[in-house]
Structure 1
Amino acid sequence: MAIIGLDHIQIAIPAGGEDRARRFYGDLLGMHEVPKPDNLSPTGCWFERGGVSLHIGVDPEFVPARKAHPAFLVDDLASLRTRLETANIETHDDKPVEGYARFFTFDPFGNRVEFMQRGET
């Protein structure tokens, strides 16, 4: 038995946050919403882009993930940062990681999100 890949990332949001998730992950990040299977909870939403699947689930006892986070690889980190900051979303740098340029932000629910671009330090 061997792990052969990653199927999806799941993050939590509070009840009623789906429209804010759609604006952030869909409109700002350019992910495409995909239908959830009918047998799953009608709450939450799923997104995909570039081989990445993000499942957003509603947690009635939601607490934002301030340390644990998804790290998305992007092809134009500077443009994404500008887009987020133009939308009044704060971004911040962290310790450098060799071979990558990167920054962090928080989604509308306080979940930490990292964006990385290969080939830069």
Structure 2
Amino acid sequence: MITAVDHIQLSAPPGSEELLRAYYVDALGLVEVPRPARLATRGGCWFSDDDGRVRIHLGIETPYRASAKAHPGLRVEAIDSLAARLEAFGAPVIWDDALPGHRRFHSQDPVGNRLEFLQPTVGERPFSSTRA
């Protein structure tokens, strides 16, 4: 039985690690996590929140193609502050009100991967299972 998502894997082009660090650490406030020695030679970066609940791995892929449609949906607090922070960093912020019970926007990391940031509105329950 599935109990949690361990991490999200996104792709990145060769040599993009410094761009990724600037975005995921400086703009999003995550921390870089050391990778096991056996994986470190492959390039890329791993990031996490302080508690290790949110983990995003970026692996080098050749040829590289950014994920324009598929994307992680990241639950956030203080969504307006995050949007302003990303805009100040130079990242696009595209608000979308199509999901009931949530405020959300889409953005892109510096290598073009699509990311969704969403915050449930006050009094709304996050998605729940309809199974009995």
Over the matched positions of the two proteins, sequence identity in percent amounts to 39
Structure 1: 4+ residue segments shifted above 3 A: none
User: Is the 2:70–2:114 Cα contact (8 Å) retained in structure 1?
Assistant: yes
User: Is the 2:95–2:104 Cα contact (8 Å) retained in structure 1?
Assistant: yes
Match in the other structure for 2:101:
99
Q: Which amino acid aligns with 1:22?
A: R
Q: 1: CA distance between counterparts of 2:91 and 2:44? A: 22
Q: 2: CA distance between counterparts of 1:15 and 1:70? A: 21
Q: TM-score, normalised by structure 2?
A: 0.86
Match in the other structure for 2:128:
none
SS in 1 for 2:100: coil
Q: Which amino acid aligns with 2:6?
A: D
Count of aligned pairs between the two proteins: 120
Q: What RMSD in Å do the two structures reach over aligned CA positions?
A: 1.4
User: Is the 2:97–2:103 Cα contact (8 Å) retained in structure 1?
Assistant: no
Q: What's the offset of the Cα at 1:95?
A: 4.4
Q: What's the offset of the Cα at 1:88?
A: 2.0
Match in the other structure for 2:91:
89
Q: 2: CA distance between counterparts of 1:74 and 1:94? A: 15
Q: What's the offset of the Cα at 1:44?
A: 0.6
Structure 2 unaligned spans of 5+: 125-132
Q: Which amino acid aligns with 1:87?
A: F
Match in the other structure for 2:47:
47
Deviations, residues 32-65 of structure 1 (Å, cap 9, x unaligned) = 1010011114211100015111111000111000
Q: TM-score, normalised by structure 1?
A: 0.93
Structure 1 unaligned spans of 5+: none
SS in 1 for 2:36: coil
Higher Cα radius of gyration: 2
Match in the other structure for 2:5:
6
